[in-house]
Amino acid sequence: MQRNDRFESSLTEDGRYRLLLNAVTDYAIYMLDINGIISSWNAGAQRFKGYEADEIIGEHFSRFYRDEDRAAGMPKRALEIAEREGRFEGEGWRVRKDGNQFWAHVIIDPIRSPTGDLLGYAKITRDFTERKASDDALKRSQEQFRILVQGVTDYAIYMLDPDGNVASWNAGAERIKGYAPSEIIGQHFSKFYTQEDLDAGMPQHALDTARSTGRYEKEGWRVRKDGSRFSANVVIDAVRDDAGNLIGFAKVTRDVTERNKAQDELAKAREALFQSQKMEAIGQLTGGVAHDFNNLLMAVLGSLELVRKRVDTDPRTMALLDNAVQAAQRGANLTKRMLAFARRQELDLQRVDIPGLVRGMAELLQRSLGPTISVETRFPLTLEAVRADPNQLELALLNLAVNARDAMPNGGTILISASLQAGKSGVPDWKEGNYICLSVTDQGLGMDKTTMLRAIEPFFTTKGIGKGTGLGLSMVHGLMRQSGGELVLKSEIGKGTTAELWLPVDRGSDQAVPSGSVSAELAGKGQKPQKILAVDDDVLVLLNTVAMLEDLGHTVIEASSGRQALELLSKENFDLVITDQAMPNMTGAQLIEAIKRQWPNMPVILATGYAELPDGAQLDIPLLSKPFRQMDLLQKIAAATEF
């Protein structure tokens, strides 16, 4: 007790010091003797430990420790460290009087005499329970965030140090970029960039932008570990401490390759739909205009033919008539192209031998292309026949050859070749099966992508004013679609153009022919005078048709509608009926169905500017395409007598 008395006397030198300690309520400040016995107790200790001074002074301070901590010798070790090292500081769980625990921050300082003898210990304890809870919550949040980041596989989320070196690496980064954490942490993030971007200084630009503005975002190509490229959306955020100092960058990368691919495919689909709708609208307009124009040309051509037979033989008059006929015929060819584009021309589908057809038009090709163009052909020894209209196919081939010639202003070689190909599965408008690909290849200027997209549009041309109608390729396109095939264009600037005509193979057994014609015997049958009923709602066309028929020696009765025609048929006997298709109230097809019901053996010819008949109109009758000339009319009359 003598030592404790000396300890107490050394502390009572200033009463004001004791008053100060007792006024502190946020800290437990008390004294221990050299054995750890409590010798003083302030108001702060009483407040958060729960003991009155007379309850605790004289007790060992170890009673504030948990049982397991006392068993582990923690109180004794704390005093030993304080004596040996001059200070002990630590945190841990402590126990209040009521048994509740709190998290305490503890400092124990040794108190020595002027001669260095240990007199006891000053112990300061602070209740950090709330801060501990806050720290624990923060740690839990950080751990949850770490687990969350590591669990994300669709995004590469990682940290960069201020110099751009990778400091962390999540599972998404490993999946997307292919590097394991041990392979990439510590490496500079620029190794994910393409060589082009490296040469342009893109990695440093990204960091500089994030450093100055706080954020950088961009899409571009990045490189995986295996060298493959992917399209990436990249966000880099600057990370700063509380003082505003840059401590690194947070980088989030997303692989958007599939998204961009889907967007591109959607854009292409929309463009294809728009193009299809536009072409359909133009086709409707073109077909209607061509039909009406055919009626006018019908009257012009027929009348010119008849006039030519009846005028004198003055050379100047005949030359003028021939010139007028040629001009009208050019108009007729123009409407054929328009109808081909609209897929409304009549096709005489036959089995066609492609090599034979090309050989048969060799002289026509050479004469049309001129001396600066040479034509080469390349066909296999055996090639299956196709189903096509030989005359229209010849016209399409001639169109493509002329286009190829125009693409080579200084001359060159045109290659015409053919090969057996399988149908393109999954491509819109393509049917499964085998096709013959008939190609026309030039060595000309070629077309860019923009021109390629518009090449088959009607009236679009790259030729000079007056040098083209802009209907050549659109006609070929329409012909191929109507024939069950496809026109495919391949071109590159400076490397020429290849136009491919994909035509379905014909498995029929009838003999393939390069062209078709009506025999002289059938034409002769058309010479027999007959009583014919001509039906058309267009006065000009009807007048012209009647005139041509009468010139052939036939007796003709006119009808301006289907109803009037049926009335005449019920009153008179006729050998043949020739009717227009496009008439109001009753079409030609409807008239023919009515005729077949009442006069099943009556021969009928249907004259039309269209190839397509209404749905359900399956008429096994000759079709006469407008505008027709007298020889066309003669041949169809001969053919009708065979039905």
The per-residue pLDDT for 65 is 93
The per-residue pLDDT for 287 is 54
pLDDT category at 425 given cuts 50, 70, 90 is: very low
* CATH match for 152-255 among 3.30.559.10, 3.30.450.20, 3.50.50.60, 3.40.640.10: 3.30.450.20
Task: Tell me the average pLDDT across 210-224.
Answer: 92
Q: State pLDDT tens for residues 387-406.
A: 888 877 887 888 888 888 88
Based on its alpha-carbon atoms, the radius of gyration of the chain, rounded to whole angstroms, reads 50
Residue 458 or residue 239, greater confidence: 239
CATH number of 271-341: 1.10.287
The per-residue pLDDT for 405 is 87
pLDDT category at 538 given cuts 50, 70, 90 is: confident
Domain boundaries of the chain, sorted by first residue: 2-128, 152-255, 271-341, 350-504, 520-640
Supply the mean pLDDT for the chain: 79
Q: Are 152-255 and 271-341 the same fold in CATH?
A: no
Instruction: Classify 350-504 by CATH class.
Output: alpha beta
Chain centre distance of CA 197: 26
Task: Tell me the average pLDDT across 569-580.
Answer: 92
Q: State pLDDT tens for residues 108-153.
A: 999 998 888 899 998 988 888 888 777 766 676 556 656 655 656 6
Strand partners, 440: 416, 499
Q: Under CATH, which architecture does the 2-128 domain have?
A: 2-Layer Sandwich (3.30)
CATH number of 520-640: 3.40.50.2300
Rounded to 10 degrees, the C-alpha dihedral 594/600/603/605 comes to 30
The per-residue pLDDT for 599 is 92
For tokens 């200033």, the residue is 14
Calculate helix-pair angle for 562-571, 588-598, nearest 10 degrees.
20
Task: Tell me the average pLDDT across 467-478.
Answer: 60
Cβ atoms of 349 and 623 closer than 8 Å? no
